[in-house]
Amino acid sequence: MNLFSAIGDFSSFFFRSLFIPWQLRQSRDRIVHQVYEVGIGSLPIILVIAAFAGLVSIVQTSYQVAGTVPRYIMGMTVGRMVMIELAPILTALMVSGRCASSMAAEIGTMRVTEQIDALEIMAIDPYRFLSLPRIIGTFIALPVLTVIAELDALLVSGAYAHFFLDVPFGVFNYGLTNLFYARDFFGGLVKSLFFALVIATAGCYYGFNVRGGAREVGRAATYAVVTASILVLALDFLVALVIFG
Amino acid sequence: MIDVRNLSKAFDSLIVLDNVSFTVNDANLVVVLGPSGTGKSVLLKSMLGVLPVDRGEVLFDGRSIQNASAQDTYEIRKQVGFVFQSTALFDSLSVADNVALPLQEHTTFSSRAIRDRVCDLLEDVGMAGKANLYPQSLSGGMKRLVAVARALALDPRYLFYDEPTTGLDPVMTDKVVKLIKTLKDKYTNSGIVVTHDLSTAKAVGDQIYMLKKGRISKLTKIEKELYD
């Protein structure tokens, strides 16, 4: 399959999954379940990586600017770095690794064990039953996770600055809040919305297209993570170009 | 009535169904017999439009599923209960939720009505008391019974069984065969059973067809003996 037909196939899968009657009465519980799976399920790992991202950013910032600019600049630099780039991208990559693979594996297993055929024969649209809740669930959960990751990273970096770099909380917070641009925060959130769409679509797409057995299910999980990660990075560039370019 | 007309299906150069035609009359169980790998499951899935056919059509009460819109296809499928050889139960759902799924999706029944209906169906197939178990904790035969209960959920006009007794021990085979006959009498639905097992075919079938090398024909007495 060449690149263009793969992109076409992927896009048509996305539209086929989303632009259908949602039948919210039947889909509501499954959407809530996916919000829980993606959101609550990913929360511990997101808290851990966001904390380290915050620590790395404050250490790097301190290394580069300490002694050359006022100390409150550190709060501004870390804040913008976390909101614009680090929190959205790291959260998306973590959710790709955790959720896109599990979506592909779960749906792929359902494909090879005829469960998707069973849905079709029971007159239940498998796109509405399987893809829609995952895409909507990730679309709701990922921005929330991103905001949590931002708060976590900023708190940890602020604490590190206070205790180890002689930058009091008040000074760090002054730089963070007084030089805050809403565009930075919302730009990061807009990115995470786009990331959510490609992560869930990649997971579902590769799951639906599994043909064969256990080996193909494993491959689908791998392809889903690789594709989601590449698309996340590509979209990061494109959205950055539009919002911050 | 189901009217299968000149159904043909090939995978690349392998012809699986070659001008297959037969009729399933009301309140009749038709058995399609044939060795493993002859395309019996392909026939069932093609009849329901899950697999596209190369030629021919299947009419459910005069409505062609091959020429139907997506919505009409779903309407036709709602009249069919399907028991998969692999059972195809949803392993993330309990037995009760598996059986309840078609009711939750296609009816406006209250949760209580659905629960009552599920209990009745599980009792009908001899699985009362197993509602809260998950498919992975059931034996192959028990899964088959739950799959039958799920197929019956919407009170379908037609029941399709794909190898209903394959892989079961003789006791469970006997139980499933009796169940198929009982359900046919109780629900007066028509259906198709595909199997490679002649004793099952003879036990449940009103008419028996043989599928071999893509072609279908009525099973003669001599063939029955040869098959034995």
What total number of domains does chain B contain? 1
CB contact under 8 A, B105 and A124: yes
Statement: residue A157 has pLDDT above 80 = yes
Would residue B95 count as lying in a domain?
A: no
Q: Which domain holds residue B218?
A: 2-79+156-227
Asked if residue A81 is part of any domain, the answer here is: yes
Report yes or no on A20 lying in a domain: no
Test the A interface: residue of B42, B97, B104, B105 with most A CBs within 10 Å: B105
Does residue A203 register a pLDDT over 80? yes
Q: Do B50 and A114 touch (CB under 8 A)?
A: no
Residue A17 lies in a domain: no
B89 contacts on A by Cβ (under 8 Å): 115
Domain contains B186:
yes
Query: Considering the domain boundaries, does residue B130 fall inside one?
Result: no
Cβ of A118 within 8 Å of Cβ of B80? The answer is no
Burial call B124-136: b when 16+ CB within 10 Å, e when fewer: bbebeebbeeebe
What pLDDT, on a 0 to 100 scale, did the predictor assign at position B228? 58
Is residue B120 situated within a structural domain? no
* CA distances, A63 to each of A59, A136, A155, A162, B198 (Å): 6, 41, 19, 15, 81
pTM: 0.90
Mean pLDDT, residues A33-53 taken together: 97
Select from A57, A78, A80 the least CA-distant residue to A172. A78
Dist. CA B116–CA B109, nearest whole Å: 10
Residue B110 lies in a domain: no
Judge whether B89 lies within some domain: no
Residues in A touching B101 (Cβ below 8 Å):
122, 124
d(Cα B32, Cα B42) in Å, to the nearest integer? Answer: 12
Q: Is residue A10 part of a domain?
A: no
Which chain B positions have a beta carbon within 8 Å of A124's beta carbon?
101-102, 105
Structure confidence by residue, pLDDT tens digits, A124-155: 999 999 999 999 999 999 999 999 999 999 99
The confidence score (pLDDT) of residue A22 equals 81
Residue among A26, A120, A124 whose CB faces B50 most closely: A120
**Number of domains chain A contains:** 1
Range of the domain at A75: 26-244
pLDDT digits (tens, 9 = 90+) for B159-170: 999 999 988 899
What confidence tier does A194 reach under pLDDT thresholds 50, 70, 90?
A: very high
Which ipTM was obtained for this model?
0.91
Residues A72-86, mean pLDDT to the nearest whole number: 95
| Residue A127 belongs to a domain | yes
d(CA A150, CA A81): 10
Q: Which residues of B touch A (CB under 8 A)?
A: 45, 48, 50, 73-75, 77-78, 80, 82, 84, 86, 88-92, 101-102, 104-106
The whole-number pLDDT of residue B17 equals: 95
Q: Report yes or no on B86 lying in a domain.
A: no
Please list every residue in chain B whose beta carbon sits closer than 8 Å to the beta carbon of residue A115.
Answer: 88-91
Overall average pLDDT of the A170-186 stretch? 92
The answer for residues whose C-beta is within 8 angstroms of residue B147's C-beta and 6 or more apart is B83, B84, B87, B88, B89
Element (H, E) at B116: helix B111-124
Element (H, E) at B101: helix B95-106
CA torsion through residues A166, A171, A173, A177, sign: negative
Average pLDDT of every residue of chain A:
95
Cβ proximity of A72 and A171 under 8 Å? yes
- C-beta atoms of A124 and B88 within 8 A: no
Positions of chain B with pLDDT under 70: 188, 221-228
Which CATH number is B202's domain given?
A: 3.40.50.300
Chains A, B: CB contacts within 8 A come to 45
pLDDT of the residue at B225 = 62
Q: Which residue shows structure tokens 């299910």?
A: A217
Q: Is there a domain that residue B53 lies in?
A: yes
Q: What is the pLDDT of residues A104-115, one digit of tens each?
A: 999 999 999 999
Residue A173 located in a structural domain: yes
CA distance A148 to B180: 56
> In this predicted structure, what is the pLDDT of residue B42?
94
Residues in A closer than 8 angstroms to B84, CB to CB, are 114, 117-118
